[in-house]
Structure 1
Amino acid sequence: MVQAVRRAARILRELATSGPRLGVTELADRMGVAKPTAHALLRTLEAEGLVVQDRESSKYQLGPDLVQLGNAYLDTQELRTRSVTWADLLATRTGEAVWVAVLNGEQILVVHHAFRPEGAVQILEVGASIPWSTCALGKAVVAFAPEEDRTRLLGGQLAVLTGASITDPAALAEQLERVAGTGYAVEEQESALGDAGIAAPVFDRSGAVAGAIGIVGPVERLLAAPGTGDIAGTGNGGGAGNGGGAVRQELAVAVRETARSLSRDLGAPRGTPVPVRRDGP
């Protein structure tokens, strides 16, 4: 690998996660390089519009050209392109906001967001990044990922965003097994207090999991009557399966059916097993 490129990428990641503004000395210390090296990399990135220097503080922050690059990725992301119509239909059918996401390292990246049909003020979440283990979208993807990927992710550090976030790898592994059996995942206040999600995996033309589609909203609306039953056998594990009733069941069916239709639109073979998990190609 080219060391200069890796260092440049490291600078962008540091600014994205530790910023919004960092000085040359701070970046050099974080990267373990000499200050002149960090300065040279920053000046090159600045010339390309990938970082900009604040005039008052002389510190650097991410540049505007990254927006263009990010939009280009979204425009060429086939799952996002194919999901637009299906996400709108799911939002209309359930009355909830719909997210479409892909796995990016240990994070789930939201590539499309269909607003809840009701005219309340809503914030566009495209580009949001969420730890995979704290959301239904992440669990839906990882439950159907190859065994080696699941093992790696379960062996990594499991994020804690709320008191309901699952930090026990064994408990999370059991939950993924249930997701693989039902074809959908549930999250209850593991990413944000008061919020819940229901998501199902989406498969591509090779039959591999390409991402997930799901609904997000208030826990009392999505999971209705917490603690009253376990409709789909996903109980235990940070509250992810608690809650029940006809509302949850109807929403889960709607999500799973939409995911299946989107998979077909992506060219997934008609024999692609949902909800049976598929390991490897």
Structure 2
Amino acid sequence: MPGPVQSIERAAAILRLLAASSGRLGVGEIASSLGLARGTAHGILRTLERVGFVEQDGGTGKYQLGAALLHLGTSYLDVNELRSRAINWADALASRSGEAVRIGTLLDGKVLVVHHVFRPDDTLQALDVGSLLPLHATALGKALLAHDANAAASIRDTELESYCRRTITDPRLLARAATRVRENGWAAEVEELSIGEAGIAAPIRGYGGLVVGAIGISGAVERICDTGRAPEPRLVAFVRDAARAVSRDLGGSRW
């Protein structure tokens, strides 16, 4: 029986390392972490870049997972599986936060709401399952946009609709917001889709750390945000806890 192919094993190790990293990594960092010669690591990275599995930042020269690999991860995960794994955690998040909870995935440049838990009170609410939300004006959308290079590229070439005065319609500002999402691990919206409404969301990761969806809460600004209109830290923590829990159930054990 043929033995393992060393170059494939090394490529897989590089992809796992990038998936586990909270930011981009340079060739030297990757080579040192995996015990590879710098030239070997660079050659593998160039090959992975050509097939879209990694992307190199033009400014820093560092690498991150590429859109082609992210789409493979998304196609691997059936939406029904995402819903079934997340239902209990979504219910718990609604109970802890006192707010409505939505879970979304990317679909044709929008956020498809695949699960919705009503705010746990007696107010009249409409079910959003099946709704399509804009990427640039929602916390769910930003959490997904920040981890999908193809979606980010499509946004750059599109005239972004303004829903409220605070909606981000400048692609450069949206790119900066996406960078903050990747750095912080969560996204927010404050009166960007609807006046008086705010939201917080965090990415859901599947096997290998690939982002396959997002979970978030939404509600009145005065409940979601503090007096300075910044999201309440305890609510951010609740959302991130829920995202990690769903991620663990989907095989993203590091999250």
Does the pair score TM above 0.5? yes
| Equivalent position amino acid for 2:141 in 1 | G
Deviation at 1:76, TM superposition (A): 5.6
Percent of residue pairs bearing the same amino acid type: 43
> Counterpart in 1 of 2:92?
89
Q: Secondary structure at the match of 1:134?
A: coil
AA in 2 matched with 1:114: V
Amino acid aligned to 2:202: A
Equivalent in the alignment of 1:107:
110
Match of 1:171 among 173, 176, 182: 173
Indicate the residue corresponding to 2:244 in structure 1.
260
Q: What is the alpha-carbon root mean square deviation over aligned residues?
A: 1.6
Offset of 1:148 from its aligned partner?
4.0
Name the counterpart of 1:249.
233
Rg larger in structure: 1
Secondary structure at 2:216 match in 1: strand
Task: Quickly say closer, same or farther: Cα 1:111–1:217, change in 2 above 3 A.
Answer: same
Show the counterpart of 1:207. 209
Unmatched tracts of structure 1, length 5 or more: 1-74, 229-242, 273-281
SS of 1:127 mapped into structure 2: coil
Please give the alpha-carbon distance, in whole angstroms, between the structure 2 residues aligned to 1:97 and 1:109. 16
Match of 2:15 in 1: none
Q: What amino acid maps onto 1:206 in structure 2?
A: G
Report how many aligned residue pairs link the two structures. Answer: 178
Alignment of 1:1-281 (within 5 A): 77-145=80-148, 147-225=149-227, 228=228, 243-244=229-230, 248-270=232-254
Q: 1:159 to 1:119 in 2, by over 3 A?
A: same
Normalization by structure 1: what TM-score?
Answer: 0.60
Instruction: Give the structure 2 partner of residue 3 of structure 1.
Output: none
Give me the whole-angstrom Cα distance separating, in 1, the residues matched to 2:147 and 2:161. 20
TM-score, structure 2 as length reference? 0.66
Displacement, 1:123?
Answer: 1.1
Q: Residue type of the partner of 2:193?
A: S
Amino acid aligned to 2:146: A
Deviations 1:74-126 (A, max 9, x none): x9621111111000000000000100001111111111001111122211111
- Gapped runs of 5+ residues in structure 2? 1-77
| Aligned mates of 1:148, 1:216 — CA distance in 2 | 26
Query: How far apart are the structure 2 equivalents of 1:112 and 1:171?
Result: 29
Deviation track 1:218-275 (CA, whole Å, cap 9, x = no partner) reads: 11110121xx3xxxxxxxxxxxxxx23xx710000110111011001111142x5xxx
Q: Larger relative contact order (C-alpha < 8 A, sep ≥ 6)?
A: 2
**How far apart are residue 141 of structure 1 and its match?**
0.9
The structure-2 alpha-carbon separation of the partners of 1:119 and 1:258, relative to structure 1 and needing over 3 Å to count, comes to same
- 1:136/1:76 CA distance change after superposition, 3 Å: closer
Taking the aligned partners of 2:155 and 2:213, their CA distance within structure 1 comes to: 16
CA distance in 2, matches of 1:130, 1:104: 10
Question: Partner of 1:256: helix, strand, or coil?
Answer: helix
- Matches of 2:211 and 2:174, distance apart in 1: 19
Query: 2:90 & 2:224 partners in 1: Cα distance?
Result: 17
The residue type paired with residue 89 of structure 2 is W
